[in-house]
Amino acid sequence: MSAYEPDENAPLLPHKSTPHDTASCPPVTSLDESPKYQTIAQDGSNHEPQETEIGGSSKFLNISNRNFYLVFIVLLLCVVVGCFEMTFMASAHPIITSYFKVSNAASWLTTVFMISLAASQPLVGRLSDTIGRRPVFIVALLAFTLATIWCALAGNIGSFIAARALCGVGAGAAYAMSMIILSDCVPIELRGMYQSYLNLAFGIGTFSGATLGGLLCDTLGWRWAFGVQVPFLALSVVLAYCFVPQKLGPMFKDAGEGGSWDLLKNFDYKGSVLLIIGVTTLVSGLNLGGNVFPWRSAQVITCFAIFAIACPALIYNETKATSPLILLRLLRKSPVSNMIYLNLFTTMSTLTVYFNIPLFFQAVKLASASEAGLQLALPSTIASVAGVASGFVITYTKQTKPTLLIGACLAIAGSTAICFLTRDVSNILAIVLITGVPIGFTGMVAPSSLIGALAASEQIDQANVTTTLGLFRNIGNILGIAISSLVFQNALIVQLDRSVTGPDKLDIIRRVRRSVQAVKTLEGQAQDQVIDAYLGSLQASFLVAVAGSLCVLLLAAPARLPRLGQKKQDVEDVDES
């Protein structure tokens, strides 16, 4: 064993073991023995390999090398299957709703999933701080697994929608816990490399869900499309149960004689309820407005009214809570606040492009729905590769600011270029122009901002930073779809009225607004007029991505992100100079 070497974080008086009841006491640090349980490194400080609880040197925190790689397999599986679930329904919902003969309920299959996904992530961060990472992670995986089985066996649409809601809870919680566990186990100096692998898993899952969802439904049937996910989730549960460390999470040291469950007395239950109400009503209003109900309908207005009450109530509660669910200081103090806010604009811009580009290929280039969806395959793949490369660059340079700024500039260039797409542009050139946004944001800004935020925060806040950032990303997703759709629909009304002429003007406008496939049925001048109207409206909607990209750069430029592995005191000295 190596000798005890105190550093600036060590207590002045080290603990001394006593001869009384040593069998029931946890391992302690003495002057001639290294700790059996490693303390999580604070503030992104330099990490030296230490003894783990099972013996032997490990380059990871709180876990042996062998166990970490087994746990990392679980994290990769969670991200792949979770992202598959997020995008799978885009191609599968027509088949499922047709099976239940309720095509008008298609939007609810995605809406309930997104609501439960967004609401669950902030809760698991503080809950895992309270009772530990392992039980929360295992319960999340079990919920995800059981919900997926429920989806496969659902006998009616009501049962299926309920299963999708539970699926969102499990997927959101498991995804958030994957990021949190990675932060707990990997030193900040190595975080970029392992984060890059998760970025690759994210791309594989997203791409697979979008492209293979319909194929699985056509070949195996929609029930087996859910069933094939179950073995991977079941394997994740077993591996997580066996290899995720028991003592993982910063709140264990505060537990009294009753253990971690005593800490539940101070859990922010009121904040949890207010957060769920606020997120549910906001996401519901943005999803339903303009899609299911008119924006001025009573249903949509009620959602926003409840959100307007719940949001300030949540903020007030968080200022008074003993263990607040959301740390408001994270939203006020740079650079962490900058990273959180810019992620909202990142996902808003990305979803604006991803949501409207297929419409460009269908309405302007007259491609089929499947052909339009495949046009995003190459940009998504390149973005995943860029994410892996960014992770290795961050690990090598120990800097997150360069990739953050380069990614923001690429996204600005890409979103601006998309605004100049025309009906005569080739598909290859269109794909090249589209690629700037996913490379810039998904490949560079997303990993850089997450690692930068974690490097600039205390270890005890890591879970809260991760889940708060995830919450803003989810809200950005919804805002991107809602705002760009609002801009597009209003612009389309004006453009169609201005462009379409002839005695059948009103009938043509009604048909092409109801279904984009109707554009193909038109001929001659009428088709050209409608295509021009769609193109002008899409160009207006892409301006949302340009505005969001500019906001990302404005938030990223002034942020003073620490060098990975830099001591907290050094960072404070830099900020004061």
Each residue of 26-39: pLDDT tens digit?
333 333 333 333 33
The DSSP secondary-structure symbol of 559 reads: -
In the predicted model, is pLDDT for residue 292 greater than 80? Answer: no
Determine how β-strand 57-58 pairs with β-strand 50-51: antiparallel
- Give the model confidence (pLDDT) of 441-479 as tens digits: 988 999 999 999 988 988 788 888 888 898 898 888 888
Range 541-569 average pLDDT: 88
State pLDDT tens for residues 57-73: 778 887 888 889 999 99
- Left (φ > 0), alpha (ψ -120 to 50) or beta: where does 34 sit? beta
**Amino acid type, 161:** I
Domain 64-255 has CATH 3.40.50.300: no
- pLDDT of amino acid 105: 66
Mean pLDDT value of segment 348-374: 83
Q: Tell which CATH architecture fits domain 334-577.
A: Up-down Bundle (1.20)
What are residue 375's phi and psi, to 5 degrees?
A: -65, -20
Rounded CA separation 336/520 (Å): 49
Q: Do domains 64-255 and 334-577 have the same CATH topology?
A: yes
Range of lowest pLDDT (205-219, 270-284, 490-504, 522-536): 205-219
How many DSSP H helices and E strands does the chain contain?
A: 20, 2
pLDDT at 96: 85
pLDDT computed for residue 50 by the predictor: 46
Query: Which residues sit opposite 51 in a β-bridge?
Result: 57
pLDDT of residue 113: 86
Instruction: Report the alpha-carbon distance of residue 33 to residue 10 in Å, rounded.
Output: 15
- pLDDT per residue as tens digits for the range 521-543: 888 888 888 899 999 999 999 99
Of 101-115, 213-227, 395-409, the poorest mean pLDDT is in 101-115
How high is the mean pLDDT of the chain? 81
Crossing angle for the helix pair 230-243 and 133-153, nearest 10 degrees?
160
Longest CA–CA span in the chain (Å) reads: 98
Instruction: Report which residue type is found at 407.
Output: G
- The pLDDT assigned to 7 comes to 47
Taking residues 419-428, report their average pLDDT.
Answer: 90
**For position 106, what pLDDT does the model report?**
67
pLDDT score for 557: 94
pLDDT in the model for residue 536 = 92
Which pair of tokens denotes residue 7? Answer: 């550093």
Per-residue tokens: 435? 């690629």
Of 44-53, 153-162, 548-557, 559-568, the range with the highest mean pLDDT is 548-557
86-100, 131-145, 149-163, 384-398: the lowest-pLDDT one? 86-100
Instruction: Identify the band that residue 119 occupies on the pLDDT scale cut at 50, 70 and 90.
Output: confident
C-alpha 149/C-alpha 55 separation (Å) is 39
Contact 491, 537 (CB under 8 A): yes
pLDDT tens-digit series, residues 121-148: 888 888 888 788 899 999 999 999 999 9
* Domain spans of the chain, in order of start: 64-255, 268-322, 334-577
Specify the pTM.
0.77
CA 179 distance to own-chain centroid: 10
The pLDDT of residue 577 is 39
Q: Which of 123-127, 268-272, 287-291, 515-519 has the lowest mean pLDDT?
A: 287-291
Distance CA 198, CA 205 (A): 10
CA separation, residue 9 to residues 38, 183, 503, 566 (Å):
13, 20, 81, 14
Between residues 145 and 356, the one the model is more confident about:
145
